[in-house]
Amino acid sequence: MPTSFNLAAKLFNVVLIVQEFTLLCAQTVAGLVRPPWYLREIMLQLDRIGVGSLFIVMLTGLFTGMVLALQGAVQLEPYGATMYVSRLISESVVRELGPVLAALMIAGRVGTGIASEIASMQVTEQIDAFRAEGTDPIKKLATTRLAACLLMIPVLTVITNCIAILGGWLVARLYLAIDSYFYWTWAFEAIQMDDIVQGLVKPLIFGFIIAMVSCYAGFSTKGGTAGVGVSTTQSMVYSSILILASDFFITKFFMAFA
């Protein structure tokens, strides 16, 4: 009997979390289409998310492309197709690795920052102060960060893709002795319109996940300053899991209609 009660209590908590998260998402999205807009706060978040994450996503893209070139050459060498390694790099990066790796890096840097910032405001009762002043904290904090993520994460993903293909070219040219013209010709030849659409849809969904999971973790913080660390960790873990899971379903969806 106690076991059944504990299981029922856990299921109830899960349902409650899903309900609260869904409500937060609905209120945040609704805030995108109604004033006030808080443009200054959005610009600040664009700078923090976009410019602040630029270096880490460029490094991620560079080494991803270089590793793909090395490993791809090893796999293609037995078939005498090493020269076509650029096709492998461009398709893999644009479809899968670029959006996923960029999102994971941004979740680690930006998502945790959003969660810790809002969590600190929650435990110090600044959120309650917003409400007392007549300011909607969801509109002020969550909507602005969602807008910034939806705008900047696709841009950062495109930059990651470009740098990854460039990193693959460095290895292909300097280590594999592949002609530059041949590399870039096949790299662009391999990218189809479906790949571009898929590579842009994924960052939008990943940006939504990062923003909303981080905001929910911040708003639901309890337990004082110790709760800030818990919320920060939860935002990273849950964002990463949802990014990888949603990537599978998005890929499955595009394959079904290919």
Tell me if 2 is assigned to some domain.
no
* Euclidean distance between CA atoms 228 and 217, whole angstroms: 9
Q: Read off the pLDDT of each residue in 26-51 and give the average, rounded to a whole number.
A: 93
Domain hosting 226: range is 9-256
pLDDT at res. 83: 86
Tell me if 1 is assigned to some domain.
no
- Tell the burial category of 136 from Cβ atoms under 10 Å away from its Cβ (0-12, 13-18, 19+): middle
The tens digit of pLDDT for each residue in 238-254 reads 999 999 999 999 999 99
pLDDT above 70: residue 48: yes
The token pair at 5 is: 């009660």
Which pTM was predicted?
0.93
> Is the torsion defined by CA of 208, 156, 201, 163 positive or negative?
negative
Give the count of domains, the chain. Answer: 1
Tell me if 84 is assigned to some domain.
yes
* Euclidean distance between CA atoms 123 and 228, whole angstroms: 8
Tell me if 95 is assigned to some domain.
yes
The alpha carbon of 128 is separated from its chain's Cα centroid by a whole number of angstroms, namely: 29
What is the 3-state secondary structure of 181-221? Answer: HHHHHHHHHHCCHHHHHHHHHHHHHHHHHHHHHHHHHHHCC
Alpha helices in the chain (DSSP H): 2-30, 39-46, 52-76, 85-92, 98-106, 112-123, 126-132, 137, 144-174, 180-190, 193-219, 225-256
Residue with tokens 């005498």: 80
How confident is the prediction for the chain on average, in pLDDT?
92
Tell me if 24 is assigned to some domain.
yes
Tell me if 16 is assigned to some domain.
yes
The tens digit of pLDDT for each residue in 192-240 reads 998 999 999 999 999 999 999 999 999 999 888 889 999 999 999 999 9
Three-state DSSP at 132 gives helix
- Tell the burial category of 210 from Cβ atoms under 10 Å away from its Cβ (0-12, 13-18, 19+): buried
Tell me if 209 is assigned to some domain.
yes
The token pair at 153 is: 């994460």
